[in-house]
């Protein structure tokens, strides 16, 4: 059916979610064209685009699925079958794509009642929590926003009404605004004329619709928040991992390195879960000493398993870090000694090695560290660092395998002598910022009597396998956390389409949360709320930069502008997840920087 105007690309995508019901009109056997009379609601955005407004849609029998279904439909059967179809957009026209022909006498018209989508491990209580709290979106998989907000929802024989659903972060996601939902358990339903489409929709007759509406008015009760689901049994922590962390804490105090426990746990989790971790903080706080202490606590010896590379401002390309192939065919290794250490680690996969790049941003990191940026996020068997082309020449091979037994860490400062970190780097690594304790807090720490851990010799297998958990990202996040990530992505995209929350970043955050150490009773050493907060700060907000015109509204503290990050992190939804103390404090630093310089670096 020809349209008087082209459809917006986003609407074309939403057409894939829309389902309609109707009846196939009589046609001549040789005519490839056929028509379907639509008996269910048609979105206004579609009806307005039609050249001839109506309820007839054109189809082509030459489309494979249409031809197959039409071949089974005789003229006598047409009056006793309902067509379930969707619309396809091509060459400025809409065409019917038949999905199913279902036996049964059609009603004169149908109303749509959507069925909320829940995952296999969720119960009706999850849906009712969303309807009563209103902070987390529910999904209506075949009911995009073009149909308008639904009047009712049905789920497992329960009808929900008095809804005030508002479109949320996507075209099939809604959140409840008024939170005064009523419900009743319906009886004598569904009727023989009602049509279910998978687990997504019910097409019901006007008579059934009015019956359900009357039942809700007569028997409806106000929906209250269900009791919280029972908590899962706590898993016990790894004793050696806890002993190791205790040893680092006691050694730090003995060496007069004063740090928050959270900073230690944060560094530890990042090193377990990220291919490279960057440590920041004011000069003189002890970043390098803490990194060295951590390595020694693992049993790594300076100059052996621990390689310390002071980065110079002269580092401009990978050859400065690795070396180069001389015209005489000899590979000339750089003075850093990195290639030799990588080869040693390759020969001893059971041993841990740590490579530390001190003052990493004295030069542009992406210039000299380029070979590693993409390499470190590949699967271990694919991590081959190429040194030169061709067969092996001399003692140094043309490529080296970068195993999981290698830990990469960098320290950075931020001053007029250092270089800005690129988005490419920030998208792949967390920035762990050590907070300087007050002198009073440091004095109190000296008086504490900490249980002593013992020095361990930790193998690569133990560190990378026994201390690390591997879980699917979507199984780690709560729906509230996913909602926050979606909202953050939407806010950032408004200001810069190149910014946002990528799947890589989300997977890294989930990996971090899954690897928070537990004590012997199973309690987390760092709360999940603080962990999620730290990850937003370290993996998302570090990429905020630009002039007032670019990010001013994002950093509006008064929250008058809709995309303010402060407004989002202090919303009712955010309060369900975390207080976001670290993130809000970090954003306030960005605000002060913007006020002073008119630019956020």
In a shared domain, residues 118 and 95 = no
Contact assessment for residue 201 and residue 19, using Cβ atoms and an 8 Å cutoff: yes
In a domain, 454, yes or no: no
**Of 142-146, 181-185, 390-394, minimum mean pLDDT range:** 390-394
CB 339 within 8 A of CB 400: yes
Query: 349 and 400: one domain?
Result: yes
Domain containing residue 365: 239-447
- For residues 16-28, average pLDDT: 89
Q: Among 471, 475, 579, which Cα is nearest to 531's?
A: 579
What is the model's pLDDT at position 231? 58
Q: Where are any strands of DSSP class E within 1-54?
A: 20-24, 33-38
Positive or negative, the CA dihedral 264, 265, 271, 272 is positive
Shared-domain flag, residues 185 and 218:
yes
pLDDT tens track for 528-540 = 999 999 999 999 9
CATH number of the CATH domain containing 418: 3.40.50.300
Structure tokens at 73: 């439909």
Are residues 244 and 356 located together in one domain of the fold? yes
Query: Is the domain of 418 the same as that of 274?
Result: yes
Q: What is the mean pLDDT of residues 253-280?
A: 93
Listed residues 168, 192, 222: the one ending a domain:
222
pLDDT band at 82 (very low <50, low <70, confident <90, very high): very high
HSE-CB for 148 with a 13 A CA cutoff: 10
Q: Helices 528-539 & 503-514, crossing angle to 10 degrees?
A: 150
Higher pLDDT, residue 148 or 79: 148
Give start and end residues of each alpha helix (H) in 278-385. Answer: 287-297, 318-321, 338-347, 365-368, 370-375
Give the count of beta carbons closer than 10 Å to the beta carbon of residue 316.
12
Q: Can you give the pLDDT at residue 453?
A: 62
**Statement: residue 471 has pLDDT above 90:** no
- The domain total for the chain is 4
Question: 389: part of which helix (H) or strand (E)?
Answer: none
Of 50, 3, 40, the closest CA to residue 19 belongs to: 40
DSSP line for 75-123: HHHHTTEEEEEEEEEETTEEEEEEEEEEESPPPS-EEEEE--B--TT--
Residue that the structure tokens 């490529």 belong to: 399
Q: How many CA atoms lie within 13 A of 160 on its CB side?
A: 24
592: Cβ contacts below 8 Å, ≥ 6 apart: none
Rounded Cα gap, residues 399 and 383, in angstroms: 10
Q: What was the pLDDT predicted at 416?
A: 65
Say which residue the tokens 């503290």 belong to: 557
pLDDT in tens, 579-590: 999 999 999 999
Q: Is residue 471 part of a domain?
A: no
In order, the DSSP letters of 402-429 are --TTEEEEEE---STTSPPPPHHHHTTS
Handedness of CA 483, 488, 491, 495 (dihedral sign): negative
Average pLDDT over residues 191-215: 89
Please answer whether residues 253 and 190 qualify as being in contact, where contact means their C-beta atoms are separated by less than 8 angstroms. Answer: no
User: Do 322 and 421 reside in the same domain of the chain?
Assistant: yes
Is residue 580 assigned to a domain?
yes
Contacts of 34 (CB under 8 A, 6+ apart): 24, 25, 27, 58, 59, 60, 61, 66, 70, 96
Query: Nearest 5 degrees, angle CA 474-CA 480-CA 482?
Result: 40
The reply to whether 155 and 268 lie within a common domain is no
Query: What value does the mean pLDDT take over residues 319-345?
Result: 93
The rounded percent of the chain whose pLDDT value lies above 70 is: 95
What does the pLDDT read at residue 442?
83
Section 25-53 average pLDDT = 86
Closest C-alpha to 442, from 250, 246, 249, 260: 260
User: Residue 122: its pLDDT value, please?
Assistant: 86
pLDDT digits (tens, 9 = 90+) for 339-354: 999 999 999 999 999 9
Residues 526 and 556 in one domain: yes
Rg of the Cα atoms in the chain: 31
Q: Both 268 and 370 in a single domain?
A: yes
Is residue 363, in this structure, part of any structural domain at all?
yes
Residue 511 corresponds to which tokens in the numbers above? 């990996």
259 occurs within a structural domain:
yes
In the β-sheet with 173-176, what is the strand arrangement from edge to edge? 138-139, 173-176, 165-167
pLDDT of residue 236: 81
Tell me what pLDDT residue 28 has. Answer: 75
Q: Note whether 265 and 410 are same-domain residues.
A: yes
- Do 188 and 256 share a domain, yes or no? no
228, pLDDT greater than 80: no
DSSP 8-class letter at 463 = I
Environment class of 53 (CB within 10 Å of its CB; exposed 0-12, middle 13-18, buried 19+): exposed
Mean pLDDT within 516-545? 93
Asked whether the predicted pLDDT for residue 79 surpasses 80, the reply is no
Per-residue pLDDT at 561 exceeds 60: no
In CATH, what number is assigned to the domain containing residue 67? Answer: 2.40.50
* 363-366: Cβ within 8 A, 24+ apart: 363/311, 363/312, 363/313, 363/314, 363/315, 363/316, 363/419, 364/316, 364/419, 364/422, 365/410, 365/419, 365/421, 365/422, 365/425, 366/422, 366/424, 366/425
Residue 392 has pLDDT above 90, yes or no: no
Whole-angstrom distance, CA of residue 457 vs CA of residue 297: 8
Q: Tens digit of pLDDT for each residue in 147-158? A: 999 999 999 989
Cis, peptide link before residue 190, omega less than 30° from 0: yes
Same domain flag for 76 and 150: no
Distance CA 235, CA 523 (A): 8
Which residue, of 103, 136, 166, is where some domain finishes? 103
Mean pLDDT of the chain: 89
pTM metric for this prediction: 0.84
Instruction: Please tell me what DSSP assigns to residue 229.
Output: P
Q: Is residue 362 part of a domain?
A: yes
* Residue at 3 is within a domain: no
Q: Is residue 38 assigned to a domain?
A: yes
């Amino acid at each position: 059916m020809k349209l008087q105007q082209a459809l917006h690309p986003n609407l074309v995508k939403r057409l894939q979610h829309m389902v309609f019901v109707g009846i196939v009109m009589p046609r001549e056997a040789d005519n490839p064209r056929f028509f379907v009379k639509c008996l269910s609601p048609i979105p206004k955005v579609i009806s307005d685009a039609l050249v001839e407004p109506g309820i007839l849609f054109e189809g082509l029998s030459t489309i494979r699925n249409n031809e197959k279904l039409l071949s089974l439909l005789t003229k006598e059967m047409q009056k006793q079958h309902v067509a379930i179809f969707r619309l396809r957009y091509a060459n400025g026209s809409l065409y019917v794509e038949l999905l199913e022909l279902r036996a049964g006498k059609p009603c004169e018209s149908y109303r749509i009642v959507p069925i909320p989508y829940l995952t296999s491990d969720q119960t009706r209580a999850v849906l009712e929590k969303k309807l009563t709290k209103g902070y987390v979106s529910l999904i209506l998989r075949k009911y995009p926003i073009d149909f308008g907000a639904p009047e009712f929802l049905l789920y497992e024989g329960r009808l929900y009404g008095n809804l005030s659903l508002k479109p949320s972060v996507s075209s099939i996601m809604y959140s409840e605004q008024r939170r005064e939902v009523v419900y009743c358990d319906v009886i004598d339903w569904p009727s023989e004329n009602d049509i279910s489409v998978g687990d997504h929709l019910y097409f019901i007759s006007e008579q059934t619709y009015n019956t359900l509406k009357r039942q809700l008015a007569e028997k409806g009760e106000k929906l209250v928040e269900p009791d919280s689901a029972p908590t899962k049994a706590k898993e016990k922590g790894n004793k050696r991992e806890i002993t190791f962390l205790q040893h680092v804490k006691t050694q730090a105090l003995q060496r007069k390195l004063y740090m928050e426990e959270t900073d230690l746990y944060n560094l530890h989790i990042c090193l377990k879960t990220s291919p490279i971790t960057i440590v920041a903080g004011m000069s003189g706080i002890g970043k390098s000493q803490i990194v060295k202490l951590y390595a020694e606590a693992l049993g790594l010896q300076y100059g052996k398993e621990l390689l310390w590379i002071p980065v110079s401002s002269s580092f401009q390309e990978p050859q400065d870090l690795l070396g180069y192939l001389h015209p005489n065919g000899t590979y000339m290794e750089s003075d850093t000694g990195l290639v030799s250490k990588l080869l040693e680690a390759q020969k001893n996969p059971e041993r841990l090695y740590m490579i530390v790049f001190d003052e990493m941003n004295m030069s542009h990191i992406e210039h000299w560290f380029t070979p590693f940026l993409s390499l470190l996020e590949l699967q271990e068997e694919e991590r081959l660092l190429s040194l030169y082309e061709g067969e092996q020449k001399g003692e140094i091979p043309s490529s080296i395998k970068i195993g999981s037994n290698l830990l990469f860490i960098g320290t950075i400062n931020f001053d007029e002598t250092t270089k800005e970190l690129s988005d490419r780097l920030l998208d792949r690594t967390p920035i762990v910022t050590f907070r300087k304790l007050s002198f009073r807090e440091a004095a109190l720490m000296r008086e504490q009597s900490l249980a002593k851990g013992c020095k361990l010799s930790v193998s690569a297998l133990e560190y990378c396998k026994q201390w690390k958990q591997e879980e699917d990202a979507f199984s780690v996040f709560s729906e509230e956390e996913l909602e926050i990530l979606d909202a953050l992505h939407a806010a950032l995209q408004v200001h810069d389409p190149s910014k946002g929350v990528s799947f890589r970043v989300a997977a890294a955050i989930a990996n971090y949360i899954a690897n928070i150490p537990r004590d012997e009773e199973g309690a987390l050493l760092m709360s999940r709320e603080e962990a999620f907060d730290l990850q937003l700060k370290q993996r998302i907000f570090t990429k905020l930069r630009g002039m007032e015109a670019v990010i001013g509204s994002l950093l509006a503290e008064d929250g008058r502008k809709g995309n303010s990050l402060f407004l989002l992190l202090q919303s009712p939804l955010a309060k369900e997840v975390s207080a976001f103390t670290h993130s809000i404090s970090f954003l306030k630093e960005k605000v002060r920087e913007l006020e002073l310089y008119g630019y956020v670096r």
